[in-house]
């Protein structure tokens, strides 16, 4: 009896200690997990261990391994080979330390696990950004600023400029016979004219388009990094598409920078209005989830206009026209501009009321219409006539007015429209509409007049006359007639009265 009681007691005692130890371990683990910089131990299979045995050392990519170890991929056991292994027949594959691998990990490779993201991305304008060969801008890089054949075909203006954003056509380095060249370690060499490159529409050797690491910097592949505005700002900046500058100017940007720490940028999921409330980032509006919409990797899914061309049109216009011309049905899942606009408005409505958002869109549409009617359409019509009459040579950029026109639509015209689309009033006004007007009235129109005079002098009277008629038509139109002194008397009277009031308030006169 007494022995069994002692045994029972000892058993209970031991069990209590075991229980206490387990509890302490669990508590310790949980506390550790709560630490802000906690990372679970990376899961490394034999393959990854083998890669890391060298690439974990200084000089062979220690940093690459360290970054990978801090990633979600390491946490879930997606190792080096899961991304870098090549399939039989991959032309960029090479034998490396007992494995057949490739250096570039393309969307096709990521698609082995992230099929949805790859599908959406592949259908987006982002994936097509490498197809700029035929564009007017491309003549700049390959002819006017630089030369395709310069330094044995290095094409520097394009390779270090355009392609770093748009994407190169990746090529292997080949010898005289056209065979791929390998280095001393047996590693295939890429043509330095085309790589390194993480342009968003890179044309890859496996036929896939784009580069996921245009946004997702390796080897962290951190969601916090992609959700930051600076991420998009690598490409979306500068005089012809200043989205990051516009964002920084906007109240959305101001609030983001004021409350960056409360944005929960690394949380899962990241839903506007639920996980964070301070401000939207580029990703919030164009990519990330709302309570009603999933994440999209097609950045066109929430856009209704395209603000890039000489004359803006609705984003679905060219696809609709093509489908109609070919008599083909629209692709499955095709979104009309109205549907895309609804998607964006659904983002806004997490923070604003319906009326607020609707009115904003009216203000925005008006700016696009103003640009189209006042500058876009008349200038385009004029340039077409100058070319078709032979007053301008067929060569692009050899005449002043071609530069003037380029700055008008490609720089200032885009800035005005883009400023209005994302609440940047200074880009709409001083970098936009003001410069448009200045370009139009102090350069474009005087240059057209000069071309008319020169054509007359050369005896091309008929051609000169055609241009003169179009110019007069334009100058007599409602939007431009102020320039030739034709002002409606009522309006002039009102303006004069307003000017007097203004002087009274603000000047010492
Ligand atoms: C025995 C050492 C060793 C092992 C094991 C090893 N590597 Fe390497 N790896 C190297 C060296 C050395 C280089 C060349 C580094 C340089 O040129 O700076 C290299 C280069 C590379 C490159 C870059 C090629 C380029 O185009 O620049 C990749 C990608 C790579 N290794 C991936 C892997 C993967 C994946 C594994 C595991 C299957 C692995 N390595 C295993 C030593 C190793
Ligand atoms: C989630 C996929 C992924 C994983 C996992 C991954 N990589 Fe990479 N790695 C990439 C991508 C993407 C690139 C960029 C290639 C490019 O587009 O130029 C890259 C590039 C590289 C390069 C050459 C680039 C340079 O900066 O020199 C090396 C070397 C490399 N990886 C080694 C490794 C090693 C070693 C591991 C495992 C510790 C690993 N990678 C794990 C996706 C991955
Ligand atoms: C072998 C499968 C596999 C491959 C290949 C792969 N991933 Fe992943 N990836 C995963 C898994 C699994 C997760 C974790 C998913 C989760 O937790 O919901 C993940 C997570 C991610 C995340 C989210 C990270 C986070 O912090 O939540 C990103 C971004 C990502 N992958 C991008 C890529 C890119 C880009 C490539 C190609 C360069 C790639 N992955 C290749 C399996 C893969
Ligand atoms: C800093 C990155 C960057 C550089 C450098 C760059 N672009 Fe772009 N480009 C962009 C972005 C971003 C857009 C889209 C802008 C938008 O939608 O507002 C764009 C738009 C374009 C478009 C319009 C595409 C369309 O669908 O209408 C063409 C054409 C183009 N770029 C050609 C070029 C050429 C050619 C060069 C070199 C002379 C070049 N770009 C240099 C980032 C860049
Ligand atoms: C234009 C930038 C951009 C490009 C290019 C891009 N992504 Fe993303 N990706 C993002 C953003 C932003 C997020 C974060 C969305 C969010 O808020 O959760 C994201 C999130 C992800 C996630 C995590 C999704 C989740 O449910 O949490 C995966 C996986 C991923 N991307 C894979 C890819 C792959 C694969 C590619 C290449 C086909 C790619 N991404 C290209 C911007 C990009
Ligand atoms: C590596 C360069 C690069 C990065 C990074 C990048 N973009 Fe772009 N983006 C482009 C280019 C180039 C285009 C124009 C593509 C074309 O039409 O040829 C573009 C076009 C777009 C468009 C217009 C889409 C359409 O269908 O008309 C949107 C919206 C956009 N990007 C949003 C983003 C956002 C948001 C991010 C960050 C999460 C981002 N981009 C990151 C280069 C980039
Ligand atoms: C508050 C939401 C919001 C934020 C934040 C935002 N955008 Fe936009 N973006 C818009 C709206 C709205 C449009 C116009 C949509 C339309 O035409 O229907 C637009 C249009 C665009 C376009 C299309 C331009 C074209 O050529 O057609 C690009 C590119 C773009 N945004 C990139 C960015 C980038 C990069 C950032 C961050 C620096 C950003 N956006 C931040 C709402 C936002
Ligand atoms: C995460 C919340 C959030 C989202 C999403 C959001 N906004 Fe805002 N928005 C704000 C905040 C906060 C302000 C600053 C309010 C103030 O002036 O005090 C603001 C300001 C504005 C302003 C006023 C700008 C000014 O200079 O006074 C407009 C217009 C606007 N937003 C439109 C939009 C539109 C359109 C969308 C969708 C494309 C959108 N917002 C998405 C939070 C948001």
- Residue identifier of the C-alpha nearest atom 2 of ligand 4: 235
Q: Which ligand is nearest to the CA of 163?
A: 4
From the alpha carbon of 418, which atom of ligand 4 is closest?
18
> Band of the pLDDT at 7, cuts 50, 70, 90?
confident
Ligand 2 center from residue 223 Cα (angstroms): 17
Taking the C-alpha atoms of residue 393 and residue 345, their distance in angstroms, rounded to an integer, is: 46
- Note the pLDDT of residue 261: 97
Instruction: Spell out the SS3 assignment of 256-320.
Output: HHHCHHHCCCCCCCCEECCCECCCCCHHHHHCCECCCCCCCCCCCCCCCEECCCCCCEECCHHHH
Say if residue 360's pLDDT is above 70: yes
C-alpha 303: how far from chain center: 13
- Tell me, using a 6 A CB cutoff, whether residue 83 lines ligand 2: yes
Residue ranges in 85-130 assigned as alpha helix (H): 107-110, 115-122
Q: Tokens 């876009």: give the residue.
A: 376
Task: For residue range 15-32, list pLDDT tens digits in order.
Answer: 889 889 888 888 887 777
DSSP state of 85: B
Distance 486 CA to ligand 5 centre (A): 55
Q: Which atom of ligand 1 lies nearest, measured to the CA of 188?
A: 26
Ligand 4 surroundings by CB, under 6 angstroms:
125, 132, 135, 137-138, 140-141, 161-162, 165-166, 235-236, 238, 241, 307-308
Angle subtended at Cα 71 by Cα 65 and Cα 72, rounded to the nearest 5 degrees: 140
Is any atom of ligand 1 closer than 6 Å to the C-beta of 96?
A: yes
What is the C-alpha to C-alpha distance for residues 25 and 296, in angstroms, rounded to an integer? 41
Query: How many Å lie between the centroid of ligand 4 and the Cα of residue 367?
Result: 22
Atom of ligand 2 nearest to the CA of 197: 18
What pLDDT score does 342 carry?
98
**pLDDT for 25:** 84
What's the pLDDT at 30?
Answer: 75
For tokens 């951190």, what's the residue? 222
Q: Is the pLDDT of residue 3 over 70?
A: no
Please state, for a pLDDT cut of 90, what percent of the chain lies above it: 85
Which has more confidence, 80 or 58? Answer: 80
| Cross-strand pairs, 359 | none
- What is the C-alpha separation between 317 and 372, in angstroms, rounded? 15
Using CA atoms in the order 101, 102, 106, 111, what is the torsion angle rounded to 10 degrees? -10
pLDDT confidence tier of residue 420, bands split at 50, 70 and 90: very high
Probe residue for ligand 3, chosen from 117, 217, 221 as the CB with the greatest number of ligand atoms within 8 Å:
221
Q: What is the largest CA-CA distance in the chain?
A: 130
Measured in angstroms, how far is the CA atom of residue 126 from the centroid of ligand 6?
Answer: 5
Q: How far apart are CA 84 and CA 467, in angstroms?
A: 60
* pLDDT surpassing 60 at residue 277: yes
Q: Is the CB of 212 under 6 A from ligand 3?
A: yes
Q: Report the alpha-carbon distance of residue 247 to residue 255 in Å, rounded.
A: 10
For residue 255, the CA-to-ligand 8 centroid distance in Å is 9
DSSP-assigned states of every residue in 393-451: -SSTTSSHHHHHHHIIIIIIIHHHHHHHHTT-HHHHIIIIIHHHHHHIIIIIHHHHHHH
Q: Which of 126, 140, 200, 241 to mutate to test the pocket of ligand 4 (most atoms within 8 A of CB)?
A: 241
pLDDT in tens, 30-47: 777 677 677 778 999 999
At residue 56, the pLDDT reads 94
Determine if ligand 2 sits within 6 Å of the CB of residue 61.
yes
Q: pTM of the predicted model, to two decimals?
A: 0.95
- How does residue 102 score in pLDDT terms, banded at 50, 70 and 90? very high
């Amino acid at each position: 009896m007494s022995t069994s009681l002692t045994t029972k007691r000892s058993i209970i005692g031991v069990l209590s200690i075991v229980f206490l130890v387990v509890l302490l371990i669990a508590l310790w683990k949980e506390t550790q997990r709560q630490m802000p910089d906690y990372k679970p131990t990376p899961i490394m299979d034999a393959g990854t261990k083998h890669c890391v045995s060298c690439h974990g050392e200084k000089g062979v990519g220690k940093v690459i391994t360290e970054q990978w170890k801090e990633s979600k991929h390491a946490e879930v056991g997606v190792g080096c080979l899961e991304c870098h292994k090549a399939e039989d027949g991959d032309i960029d594959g090479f034998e490396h330390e007992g494995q057949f691998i490739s250096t570039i990990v393309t969307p096709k490779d990521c698609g082995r696990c992230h099929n949805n993201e790859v599908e959406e991305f592949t259908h987006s304008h982002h994936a097509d950004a490498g197809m700029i060969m035929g564009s007017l801008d491309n003549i700049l890089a390959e002819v006017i600023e630089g030369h395709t054949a310069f330094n044995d075909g290095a094409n520097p203006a394009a390779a270090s400029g355009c392609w770093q954003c748009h994407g190169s056509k990746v090529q292997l380095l080949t010898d005289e016979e056209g065979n791929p060249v390998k280095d001393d370690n047996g590693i295939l060499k890429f043509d330095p004219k085309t790589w390194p490159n993480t342009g968003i529409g890179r044309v890859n050797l496996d036929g896939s388009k784009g580069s996921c690491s245009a946004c997702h910097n390796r080897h962290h592949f951190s969601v916090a990094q992609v959700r930051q505005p600076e991420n998009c700002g690598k490409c979306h900046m500068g005089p012809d598409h200043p989205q990051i500058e516009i964002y920084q100017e906007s109240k959305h940007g101001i609030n983001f920078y004021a409350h960056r720490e409360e944005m929960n940028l690394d949380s899962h999921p990241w839903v506007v209005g639920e996980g964070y409330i301070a401000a939207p980032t580029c990703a919030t509006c164009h990519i990330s989830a709302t309570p009603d919409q999933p994440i999209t990797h097609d950045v066109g899914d929430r856009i209704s206009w395209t603000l890039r061309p000489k004359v803006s049109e609705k984003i679905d216009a060219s696809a609709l026209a093509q489908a109609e011309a070919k008599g083909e049905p629209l692709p499955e899942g095709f979104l009309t501009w109205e549907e895309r606009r609804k998607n964006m408005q659904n983002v806004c409505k997490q923070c604003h009321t319906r009326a607020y958002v609707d009115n904003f869109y009216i203000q925005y549409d008006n700016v696009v219409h103003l640009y189209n009617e006042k500058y876009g359409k008349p200038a385009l019509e004029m340039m077409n006539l100058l070319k078709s009459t032979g007053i301008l040579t067929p060569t692009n950029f050899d005449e002043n007015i071609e530069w003037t026109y380029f700055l008008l639509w490609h720089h200032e015209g885009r800035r005005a429209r883009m400023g209005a689309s994302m609440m940047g009033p200074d880009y709409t006004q001083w970098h936009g509409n003001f410069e448009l007007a200045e370009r139009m009235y102090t350069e474009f129109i005087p240059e057209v007049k000069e071309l008319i005079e020169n054509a007359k002098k050369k005896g091309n009277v008929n051609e000169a006359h055609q241009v003169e008629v179009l110019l007069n038509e334009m100058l007599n139109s409602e939007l431009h007639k102020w320039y030739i002194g034709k002002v409606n008397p009522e309006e002039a009277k009102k303006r004069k009265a307003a000017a007097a009031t203004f002087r009274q308030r603000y000047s010492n006169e």
